[in-house]
Structure formats: structure tokens, C-alpha cells
Amino acid sequence: MSTSPELDEVIGFLRGHAPFDRLTPEQLDRAARRIEILYRRKGEILLSIGQANTALAVIRRGAVEVHDGSGRLINRLAEGESYGLPSLLTGKPVRNRVSLIEDGLIYLLPVAEFNALRAANPAFEQHFVSTLEERMRAAAEAGGGNALMATPVSRLGSRTPVMVGPEASIREAAQLMSQKGVSSILIGDSEHMLGIVTDRDLRNRVLAAGLDPAEPVTRIMSTDPTHLDADRPVFEAFLVMANRGIHHLPLTREGKPVGMITTRDLVSLQTQHPLYLVRQVAKQESVEGLQEVTGRMPRMFALMLANGARPEDVMRMLTALTDAVTRQLLRIAEDTLGPPPMPYAWLAFGSQARNEQGPHTDQDNGLLLAHTPDEAGADYFENLAKFVCAGLDACGYVFCNGEVMAQNPRWRQPLDVWQGYFRSWMHEPDPKALLHASIFFDQRCVHGDRRLFDALQDTLFDASPRHGIFLAVLARHALTHEVPLGLFRRFVVEHRGEHRDTLDMKKAGSLPLNDLLRVRALAAGLREPGSLARIEGLRRLGKMVDSDAAELAAAFRLLSRLKLEHQAAQLAAGEKTDNRINPSQLTRTDRDALRDAFLVIRQAQAGLSNAFGVQ
């Protein structure tokens, strides 16, 4: 077959670069003849997010950058390298933007020819599989945004496989699929998997072919379906499904079918990641859009726990989502109402301030203004606060029963009024002041003018160590929380009613711990509101010995973990979450650890009693 100088140049270039160097001369010649040559200028977009990818792109000259949807640089590629591989292998729309950073010449091999070469040449095929695997493994090991890729695929909540015996008809199999709401069915029994039938098989092998639905289902099944051990990581599921071009993957243990995962499950995984959700929040322009994003929070919460995330990280990510929603609501409000007439700061109190939120929480917030507003200014901030509080409520952060919200005029005040509040609470620590202390002294600026917040903190934390009487009253109040351990270390549980045999983990553990840490932090002038940050701060200042700090941190983590796991189980069961656990339903190890945690808190309370001379 004749060649031209241009074709010789293409063949020569490809022959010098993997994996084309693994092709036979005939395969290389055929590939070169089908290549389209593309010349583009610096700055031009070669692939856009969402478009279909129809060709393997090999950079002949120049360089490209790959950016994700948020503009983050993913990769830089140069001569001899390929881009757009994931979309080409999976058949999915392009997920990253590819643009030239210098004038470039690109070779485009049509996808049909690319797939023909993959099928005909195992070495050529293996190169692309290895390349994709390397990228995905790196992503899985990178942690942060991609840590869930290392999650065992069985933890994705894969559904129990729907199965039917080989004697069933096609109609019976289809009826069972419809009844169960699934798009595939396994043929066999719990011990042996003979084949799989998907909704596509029903369309192509039955309806399109005019096959009688009374025929045995075995006539249309794909025999010996590809499967994956249920304990393998998620990225392997991606690879298997991409390489085999399948959308349903049975999961097995010791060869027995135990689950089913679909491409939709895997795509859904990416959209449940906390960082993805936070980024999505920033793109929403309406309360309805924010509701849609926060509706995915329970799934994110379950995935993080299933992935072995530390309880403090789970709570921090849940709080980060709340913060993001709050900021976006404020931006929407400002776009609607116009620029604010003065600097302000949106404050979070309580668990949000401590970065310790669970999957279900109410609002505790306030508005700090630079100075007393005029009538128009007061209207502006009233409208802004009402919009944000209502938006948070619509997104699942329900209104505070105690009205501790910025929409309450009392908690929408200028700096001097807020400073006056805290001074009066410290000078006159009556029962109401104690109640306020448990909420307002855990504070954090979520949005707005940081200098205003710093000025408020200066007033509070510079003064608090000098208010001995106030601290003593707070300490005495912290000691009123009784740790639920009786004689012989037995748990003191509810004895009657709907909560019989349960412990309120918030009342029994979190509340006493938060209160005693708050007192000690105020006495030390520590501004960090988080429990672990306070423990570390006290240890660093020499206000708490290392062993006590380690024990309190361990107690905090245990209480948080048990509470979060309990709430995750409730969400999985479709129940409303609460803080009540039944100790008898814990493992022996967790029961013993919980007793130890309560003892640690009791000892810390004794230390607080001695330090402040109160009982």
C-alpha cells in the first residue's frame, strides 16, 4: 500500500510513543490512515465539560491544561500524551475542560478505530487500562476530595441482588424487576450466579427481536457475568465497569452474590462528597436550589462514617455545609436587597460555632452590626435576617425554639449592645446568664466583617479570666450535670416511658463535657470554641496535664462516635434522629469504653470543683 510523506510522519511519530509502539506494522498503518490532524491556537478549548468525546486525542505538538468544573488545574500534558481518556473509556460526557496553553497540533483517532485496536491488541489495551488505573489509584490515595474512592464498594449501600431461578420465564423476570424497581436481575440462587439480565436485554433481545416473553429467561441472559469482590475499593469497580463497558456489576463474597452496584451508584458517590456539596452550594441562586443540595447531606453523612472518617471530621464537614449554606443565603439576600448599609458579621453560636454539628440541628445565630442603624438600615437587616433564617429552616436547619436567631431583634444588635450583653452576664450571673453562657460564649464568625467579631471577642475573652465570681457560678452549674453511672459502674438509664432503657448521650455526656471545658477555656482566655481545640489549648498553656487532655479527648471522640453511629442507623431506617442509645445494644468493648468515658468526665468535674472551690 502506498504512503505519503505526511502519512510517514504520522506513523513515525506514533511508533515512537507508547502504546502505539506496541502495534503491529499493519495496525499502526491502519491507525495512521484514520487519524484526523487538528491545528489549534493557544487558548482554544479542545474539550468542554459535558460534551461527548468521540476520539482519542494525542498531542503531536504543544501542551494542554486540564481544569475541573470549578477551574482547578488537574493536569498539564505535553507532546506524546493523550487527554480525554476517562470519557473515552466510559462513554460518559467529558468532565474536565482541556485547553491549549501554546499553539498545538493534535492527532485524533476516532473512537471506533480506537476500540478496534484495543480489542485486537491486548498490550495496547493494557496501556490505557493501566493509565486510567494509575490516575484513579492516585486519586484514591490523595485523600481529601477523593478519599471515598478507596471505600470498599460494599459500603456504598449497594442493594441486595434481585434473583430469579433459571426455570423462570422472561415475563416473570421482567415482572420481578418492575416490582422491585431494579434495572437488572441475576439468574441463579444465593449460592450460584448463572447469568444476568438487564433492562437493555429486555429491549434488545425480547422486544426488538420479537421473542415470546414466555420463553425461559436463560435465553436472554448474559452468562457468567463479570463480578467483583464486595470488599474491593470503589475505584476498582469504576475500572471494571469502564473496561468492560457494563452498567451493572454484581458483588460477591467467596463467589456468592451479595450485592449489586450500578454506574448510577458510582456517579452518585461523587455527588455526595462533602467538598462537592459545598461547591454546589456556592452555585445555587435560590432557596430551592440549596434545599436540593442539602437534601443529599444524609447520604454524605452515612458515606463519611462508612468510610471510617473520624467523628470530629464528620461533624466539621456537616458544619462546613451549614456555614456554606448560610453564606450563600446571605449573598442571595444581598443581591436582592442591595449592598448592606454598614459592615456586619453573621455569628454562629452553640454546636455550629464549635464545628460539632450532627445530621439534624437547629439554628443558633445572631447579627453583629457596626453601629446602631437608622430606620432604613434596621429594615434592611431585619429583611436580611428573616430571609436567611427562613432559608436555613427550609434547608433543614430548623428554627430555634428559644428564638436565638438573627431574626429576633434582640440578637440583631450593634457591637456596643452585644458588648453590654456579655458584660452584664458576667457581672450578674443569674440563671438566665447561665443559659446564655451555654449558647453565646461558644461563638464564631461565619460571614462578614471579621474586625467587628474580633472587637467583640476582645471584650469577652480579655475580661472573662478576671470575673472569678462569674466563673465560679459557671463551674457550679457545670457540676449539676450528673454522669449516669451508678454503683458498680452500672448505667443509669430511663426506667419507664418511650425512652426506657436508653441514655441521652447529649445530656449525659456532651453537655457536661462542653460546660466544664467552656469554664476552663474562659478562665484561660481561650477563644477557640471547639471541644478538642479547647482541650489542646488548655494542655498547651499548662492548664491541663497531658494525660488528662488525652483522656478527655478520647472521651469526646467516643461520645461523638456513638452518637453519630446511632443517628446514621436511624437515618438508614428512615427514622427521626435523636441522641438516645440503649447501652445494652452496644458491643461489649463500646460499653466498657463508654463507662470509662463517663468516669473521665466525672474526674474532670472533680478537678473543676477543686479549681474553683465549688461543689
pLDDT at 272: 60
CB 342 within 8 A of CB 377: yes
Q: Given pLDDT bands bounded at 50, 70 and 90, which one contains residue 157?
A: low
Q: Given pLDDT bands bounded at 50, 70 and 90, which one contains residue 275?
A: low
* Per-residue pLDDT at 470 exceeds 80: yes
User: Pick from 100, 565, 613, 600: which is nearest to 306 by CA?
Assistant: 565
- H or E element in which residue 174 lies: helix 170-180
User: Pick from 536, 581, 523, 531: which is nearest to 556 by CA?
Assistant: 531
CB 568 within 8 A of CB 480: no
- Name 452's Cβ contacts closer than 8 Å, sequence gap at least 6: 343, 344, 345, 368, 369, 370, 415, 445
pLDDT at 141: 43
Choice between 503 and 305, residue whose per-residue pLDDT is larger: 503
Poorest-confidence range of 190-199, 264-273, 589-598?
264-273
**SS3 assignment, position 279:** helix
For cell 484561660, what's the residue? 524
* Per-residue pLDDT at 185 exceeds 70: yes
* Per-residue pLDDT at 480 exceeds 50: yes
Range 532-558 average pLDDT: 92
* Per-residue pLDDT at 517 exceeds 50: yes
Range 64-86 average pLDDT: 78
CA atoms within 13 A on the CB side of 269: 28
Range 345-358 average pLDDT: 94
* Per-residue pLDDT at 290 exceeds 50: yes
Q: What percent of the chain has pLDDT over 90?
A: 41
pLDDT at 126: 66
Q: Given pLDDT bands bounded at 50, 70 and 90, which one contains residue 271?
A: low
What is the DSSP code (8-state) at residue 494? -
* Per-residue pLDDT at 258 exceeds 70: yes
Range 139-150 average pLDDT: 48
Q: What is the pTM of this model?
A: 0.62
Q: What percent of the chain has pLDDT over 70?
A: 89
pLDDT at 145: 41
pLDDT at 156: 66
Mean pLDDT of all residues belonging to the chain: 86
pLDDT at 403: 93
pLDDT in tens, 404-446: 999 999 999 999 999 999 999 888 888 777 778 778 999 999 9
**DSSP one-letter string for 443-468:** EEEEEE-HHHHHHHHHHHHHHGGG-H
Q: Given pLDDT bands bounded at 50, 70 and 90, which one contains residue 268?
A: low
Range 119-143 average pLDDT: 59
Poorest-confidence range of 41-55, 306-320, 336-350, 561-575?
306-320
For cell 470549578, what's the residue? 70
* Per-residue pLDDT at 289 exceeds 90: yes
pLDDT at 244: 65
Q: Given pLDDT bands bounded at 50, 70 and 90, which one contains residue 531?
A: very high
pLDDT in tens, 446-459: 999 989 999 999 98
**DSSP one-letter string for 506-563:** IIIIIHHHHHHHHHHHHHHT----SHHHHHHHHHHTTSS-HHHHHHHHHHHHHHHHHH
pLDDT in tens, 358-386: 988 899 999 999 999 999 999 999 999 99
**Distance in angstroms (rounded) separating the CA atoms of residues 420 and 103:** 64
For cell 472587637, what's the residue? 455
Enumerate long-range contacts of 111-120, CB under 8 Å, 24 or more apart. Answer: 111/53, 111/54, 111/55, 111/56, 113/30, 113/31, 113/34, 114/55, 114/56, 114/88, 117/23, 117/27, 117/31, 120/27
User: Pick from 359, 235, 361, 231: which is nearest to 300 by CA?
Assistant: 359
CB 47 within 8 A of CB 97: yes
* Per-residue pLDDT at 144 exceeds 50: no
Instruction: Give me the residues paired with residue 66 across strands.
Output: 75, 98
pLDDT at 440: 93
Q: Given pLDDT bands bounded at 50, 70 and 90, which one contains residue 150?
A: low
Choice between 403 and 81, residue whose per-residue pLDDT is larger: 403
pLDDT at 129: 60
End-to-end CA distance of the chain: 99
